[in-house]
Structure 1
Amino acid sequence: MITVLDNDDVTDDGIDWIARVRRLEEEVSGLRRALRTRGTIEQAKGMLAERLQTDPERAFKHLSQQSQKRNISVVDLAADIVAGKGEKAVKTPPSGFGRHILRAAGAASAAASLPELAEFLLNDGLAQVGVESVAFLADGDPTRILAMAGPAGKGTKTSYPVQTANAATTLVLTWAEPPGLAPADKRALDALAEVVAGVGRRLWCPVSTPWDQLHWLHTVLAAVFGQGKVLSPVYDSSGQVVDFVVDFATRELSDLFGRSSADLIGSRLLDLEPHLAGLGIFDAYVKAYNESEPYERPASYETVLYRGRPRRLLLRRRAVRVGDQLLVSQQHLDHAQRQNEQVLQMEIIGGLGFGEWDLATGEILWSPGFYELFGREASAGPSALDRLSKLVYPEDIGAVQGLLTSLLELKVPADVEFRVPHPNGKLRTIRLVAESKTTPQGDVHLVQAVASDITEGRTAEDVLRRTEAQLGEQRMRAAAEREMTRQMREIWYPATALDIDAPGLRVRGQHWVPQEDRRFQADFLDATTAADGDMLLAIGDIVGSGLAAAATMTRLMYPARVMGHAGSPPAEILEALNTELHRGDQAHMAGMVLARFLTSERTLIWSQAGHLAPVLLRNGTARQLPAPPGVLLGLMAHGGYGQAVAKLEPKDLIIFFTDGVAFGRRAVADPLPLLMREFERLAGIGGPRAVLETAMEFSDGESCLLIVEAK
């Protein structure tokens, strides 16, 4: 059983600060690498500026030009100048030995660790003069290598004493061939050793414990799996342990921090894991070292830095002193813990569970999801295989018995469904897929099963069946309604056009329905001559479609015609129709225009109910008539409808239209001005007939158009 602790001591701000420090350290490291050659160049630039009596920038330009002429790198030329060749350095090629030694010295100043110092010395100068390897030994002991660059050769060796920040070491250069150095070359090497000694005084190295005491420990750690490291203490001037240095780190530990073992070795612990101080782990390490008492920390969440980014990990730690070192190990539990959490989450989200019955030992294993599916508390424990039927709905016991027969007698996989009563009172439909494992003798010794909750799926299937049945009924009703719509159109509109003459007036109309339009929107128009010779006009559209729209149209058209023949004015007719639509539980709505042309006075009296006002086309110019007040029929109990009067002149056109003509296929905010320009153009080309025949092309649905022409 793993006890998990959660530490919140390291705040998000602290983590961000640590990450920023790490990124800055990486930037500084990059700058140090760039300065490995920059120092020599800057020194040469200053010397040239003084000797040539010019500024540093011109001196550097001069240095670059001479480098190109001599076909030699800038840094090599700079090294020649610093080596004492002076102005002659840019004219005559010197010996390369001093040049490379200067380059090595310049690179050494950029080193941040003992291994890095050995690498810089070899690669940035010494390898070019015949050095095969560079090593730092503890107290000159060849068996105690603290840092090394290059292969361990057996050639001639040159040694120089070096004092690091915490240990006496020896710089050893191994030559591939006997060097045969001139006095000037030896002086250059002595000067390099002084530079290395200066750099070494600021570098930490592992405590000089005899190698034979640690070699076996490193070998053991390298052979076993796990995250471990060997630490050496770092003391302050008063003798207190203020940090540890990593002497050895396993490969698994380097994988955790995203840094190689070589990068970890020589690092200080608090630089590597600064959060240990805030969590008290560092103090526990110091206590374990000083008092030689083992330390163990249970599994706890920690926030560590991985490639400069914070990561939250579950770690268990141990520490024990071995000789003069502290052996630290840690166990990364995130993978197992996260895997368990993922499986649990998968069971919760997917409604799954796993069960296993070991018939040989009697051991039974149920996952948390399996308990949940069967509505059983984990404290009650799992149920035996032969008692599984007691957990299911009584009507489904036969399914469980068939499952046992397949698994235990027939020894074949089984796939069954049954219902399980849940503590919340609902029934769950469970699908159980199971198989049995047999011994070589053919006896069943293990049964494994995966259960899944398919309640929603079965419910969805039932809903789908009901929906399909309802859709079938709706399709039948829709087909019947379409047939009724067709018949209604034939009844209401036996002809799609009208053409009526009256004294001083001619009326043309068009009711247009697209072939593919199966709706019945009940747009309507009507024109009839009254007994007194006046012309009665009506046009409108119903809000809605289908049978309800047809019924509303019936309640409007014929009462309007009857009242018009009786001599009622348009506004009075609209008020009566509005009252009629408000009779009943639900008021239907419609837009409508009613007009009466007085033949004796050549005057048009009209009213509107939430409908587009007609357009007057006179002398080739179209304008929309000012609309009297009026709202949709059926919208308000008392609409308050008004009337307007228009005196017609010969050749005037009054164009009434439904909104299908005005707004069909027009992707503009206000299509009416464009429509009136179209009326002007068509009337100018072919008169009322051209308007009537062409305007319908602008409609994308059922629509009506009525044109009154004054003679």
Structure 2
Amino acid sequence: MTGGRAGAEEAASLARLAATVERLRAELHEVRRAADDRALVELAKGILVERLRCAPAQAADQLATLAARTGRSQAELAADIVNRAAGDPIADLSLTGAAELDGGPEPPAGHAEAAVRLRTAESAALGATDVQAAAHAVLETALLPIGATAVAVWAAGPDTSLTLAGHAGFSAEEAGLWRQVPPGLITPATSTLIERRTLWHPAPGPASIGRHQLTGGRVTAVARLGGRVLGVLEICWPDDPPRPTPRMERQIEALAGLCALTLNSPGPPVRAGAALAELAALADSMPDPALVLLPHLDPQGHVADFRVHHANARSAVRAGGLLLEAYPFAAGELLGRIEHVHATGEPFRAADMRFTATCTAEVSITRHGGSVLLVRRDHDQARLLEHAQRLGRIGGFEENALTGEIMWNAQMFSLYGLPPDARPVPLERLRDHVHRDDEVAVGLFLRTVLHHRRPAATAFRLERPGGAARHLRVVAEPVFAPDGRLTALRGAYQDVSPQHWTEVALAVTRDRLARTERQSAARNRLALQLQHAIMPPSHGRMDSFGLRIAVRYRPAQKEDLVGGDWYDAVVLPSERVLLSVGDVAGHGVEAATGMVVLRNALRGLATTGAGPAQLLSWLNLVARHLTDRMTATAICGVYDPATRVLRWARAGHLPPILLRDSRGTELPMVKGPLLGAFADAGYEEGRIQLEADDTLLLYTDGLIERRDHNLRHAQDRLLAVASRTASTLEHRLDDLLTHCNSDTDDDTCLIGVHVR
């Protein structure tokens, strides 16, 4: 008893000690939290002092007043002020502006709750793995509490088209119908995309996603990021939406901004930098002045100007400055066009755009990621001619016949492989620079121009310094004064090397194609000869053991479609009759040789006396292991004349047809996969008792295949034709080949077996 009382007292002491430790720990945590809150409040007071230009006491009063008005603690409000000072767009909606600090008119009711919803939506959207998940997060966390039941996030294309990137609240079928909105179709989302502002649409409104599901109003807001319009957020209500207020519009625009973050899916900074470097390299390769521009945003996040990130050597603008500093006249139409291209991605081109007070130029503006490429081409005829000569690899020259002065343009020096300060080569010395095989042609050209003084042209190979040769074409004409004196020679050279080598490549390609066609024709002839050598005569007939057997074989009309169809009818040593048809997949020599292997293998295996199912199992091993992994379909039947019993099995083939009492039916389907498809394939065996005057038909699919009908329709057609009355078995087979109306141009094998 004494020991038990001591143990209880010790346990009670430990419990009191643990409670004391826990209380002290809670008090310490509370002290630390209070210290953090005071530090946050003091930081917010400092921000208010700087923003409102007021004393610290006034800032403290403003913070207390605003906290009381919104029903929030000063620590919570201080956190939003700090976030807002850091440029957090969601925090802007969790605070009132400076006017509200001075007693603005907007009521605080529900404001704290809206801020919490926005914060929750922000966390959920930023944590989403894709746009679809972000749409669900925005709907569930921010929009369901205000009565909205569906949301769609559209990705904008450069041609005002829209793609449904994410949705919530709509059925999968409805979303599938609205995957794409083409340009020109006016929907609430395209209206916002065109006007680039938030729009409220009363019911019923234009056609859009879920119009038959949700008959109420909807609102569409621009999903904008860094001045770029990436898409549209569309919010739907089942009935009338809430009354639009400035605060609600700002909240919806903030949600659209969250959707823009998921639509943007930015790459790592290294990749973005590499993209800018590639764009700068593209600008440097252009023959005209080109600028790579990045948006310059104002404090509200709107595009105020564009900063020149890179300028190529042909541009007089320095990198790092603002566009309006370089081109003050761009403040009008040009800046608006650049901003539109950056926002929408729609490329812009104009033949006449003002850059300065006296300069207009042709302009091309395109967006590349978050940057814009601006290319200008001044209206200068000489420069246009220079570009044309450079692109056409054309060099011009003029020789003064009176003074001997020679004038070349820059492209001439490039054609000759000479430096720009080299001495031009006179036309009469052209022979010194041509390939020796072309000296005769060049001599005739010079004689025509210099002696006969007539225009002429010729093609030749120019040998440049270093031994390189170029294929050129030269044209020249003499220029005469009014009194008939020769005053100058004018002409042009054009580098035709690419055309020459293209013609050479085409000639080689034509030769290779002709050789390939000859080889293909030879292979097809070989396959056809092999097929004809192996297959028995198509009009052969066998009358024995109470059977009349007739066969028909119709090869493909095109030689390049020679296939692997086979048939066989042979009396075995056991005095039973082997009946088989088959079709090897493919065409050509491979299919024909595969047919030979399988047909002869089946003949050999059948001499063992095994049943049809066992024969196909063995033949499947042949197809897999003794050939180049071919696949084939086949029917194998063994007929016993003594009992008139036909045992049969199939390997993925169409079932035989039995004609009895003028009525055609297909034999019951037995299981059996393609030959060569599986190593351990199993085959079922069927049995049928034939009667006198029965006719059995075995065929390959070339008899019935049609491109415009399914297989069941073709088989029904075959049964109808086979049931017609025929005077002989041969006539019946000929009638089937004529009227089954297949159109796939495939080989056809057909066996008819009539029980006499």
TM-score, structure 2 normalization: 0.44
Q: Which has the higher Rg, Structure 1 or Structure 2?
A: 1
Q: Point out which structure has higher relative CO (alpha carbons under 8 A, 6+ apart).
A: 1
Q: Normalising to structure 1: TM-score of the pair? A: 0.47
